[in-house]
Amino acid sequence: MTDASQGTSSGLAAAPPTPRPAPPPPTSPTAAPAASAVPSHALPANQLFDQLARIEDKCSRIEDKYARSEALLSRVEDKVENAANRMNESARQSDVAALRTEMRGLAERTRRLPGTGALVLTAVITAILTVVLMVAVQRLNLDRLLPQRATIGSTAQ
């Protein structure tokens, strides 16, 4: 803690330090019973008001420090929240970038596949060649080269 006589960091003027009250004059042992009836630390009202003013000044400095600390913590909280938002946005961006890369790879693989026209043309050519070859086999009497089908239930001799 700071002493009441030190200056404040907020720029408020501190009350000038007042000298401490002098200790009460020593009393003789015979006057001790009479002195115990009256408080031995009776301070004049002026000194009590000065002491109260110093206490109030110290309380106001503590309140100022608390307000500054609270403002600082509020700014830190805002900065942490902004940083968390930026990190979340970065994570989303990296997820989107990974998804784009995956989609690009998938698009490249599908681009290399034959299109519908090529598949239909291949099917037509295959059908025509099959018919032509079957007709050639029948005309050239190459049926005997084809394996004979065994009839169901009959034995081959």
pLDDT at 149 over 70: yes
Longest CA–CA span in the chain (Å) reads 157
pLDDT at 153: 60
Q: Is 126 left (phi over 0), alpha (psi -120 to 50) or beta?
A: alpha
Residue pair 141/135 in contact (Cβ under 8 Å)? The answer is: no
Residue pair 53/15 in contact (Cβ under 8 Å)? The answer is: yes
- Give 50: exposed, middle or buried? Use CB within 10 Å, 0-12, 13-18, 19+: middle
Q: Summarize pLDDT for 8-38 with one digit per residue, the tens.
A: 444 444 455 555 555 555 555 454 444 444 4
Average pLDDT over residues 95-99: 90
| pLDDT category of residue 154 using cuts at 50, 70 and 90 | low
Q: Is the pTM of this model over 0.75?
A: no
61 CB neighbour count, 10 Å cutoff: 19
pLDDT at 55: 95
Range name among 44-48, 55-59, 63-67, 115-119 with the lowest pLDDT average: 44-48
